[in-house]
Amino acid sequence: MANEPETPVAASAAEPAVPSLVDRYFTRWYKADVKGKLCQDHCILQHSNRICVTLLSGSHVVLQSGKAIKSISYQISTNCSRLQNKVSGKFKRGAQFLTELAPLCKIYCSDGEEYTISSCVRGRLMEVNENILHKPSILQEKPSTEGYIAVVLPKFEESKSITEGLLTQKQYEEVMVQRINATTATS
């Protein structure tokens, strides 16, 4: 929202005169090559109220090179489905607790490849995105908003520490540059 009500509306601007929803309320964090797997990059958006949203980073394999997603499953093991997560009350009791490497979902592509998406932050699982179950293409069309994977509520005491193992926007961009250089060097 505009800070000064008198800000003139920028006419015919493709970019708004003010930061986007994500830039206004969230800080971007990244984890590259999650679980040692090349280019399986995740993005964590942390709201100023400490809530985290786990998404695919724009550089994730699934979002590259015209991959087609066949289906997405939240059944991460025989006994555990993220869809069964039930949260009640103001204190969100009953939520599944996630560690950084806890699996959130599995993405199955038409080329037979299977990708596991991890939480990247510790905390209580609030919800997983059921919209992408019904329409997996949203994940590729709108990976940074509607294609989110999950919402996680970290413990109050850990709100700051959970991002210690993550990359800032700047650090992430440097990693991307290094990756491109490495690729061009070997080719």
> Which residues contact other proteins by CB under 8 A?
1-5, 9-14, 16-18, 20-21, 25, 47, 49-51, 53, 87-90, 92, 126-127, 129, 131, 138, 142, 145-146, 148, 151, 153
> Which residue lies nearer to other proteins by CB, 3 or 77?
3
> Which residue lies nearer to other proteins by CB, 39 or 131?
131
> What type of residue sits at position 121?
V
Tell the smallest beta-carbon distance from residue 77 to other proteins (Å).
24
> Which residue lies nearer to other proteins by CB, 45 or 102?
45
* CA–CA gap between residue 46 and residue 184 (Å, rounded): 33
Tell the smallest beta-carbon distance from residue 33 to other proteins (Å).
25
> Which residue lies nearer to other proteins by CB, 156 or 182?
156
> Which residue lies nearer to other proteins by CB, 8 or 112?
8
Burial of 107 (0-12, 13-18, 19+ CB in 10 A): buried
> What type of residue sits at position 166?
L
* CA–CA gap between residue 41 and residue 169 (Å, rounded): 13
Tell the smallest beta-carbon distance from residue 27 to other proteins (Å).
13
Tell the smallest beta-carbon distance from residue 163 to other proteins (Å).
16
Residue 55: count of CB within 10 angstroms of its CB: 25
Q: Where are the beta strands (DSSP E) in the chain?
A: 26-31, 42-47, 52-56, 69-73, 97-98, 103-109, 114-118, 123-128, 150-153, 167-168
Tell the smallest beta-carbon distance from residue 172 to other proteins (Å).
21
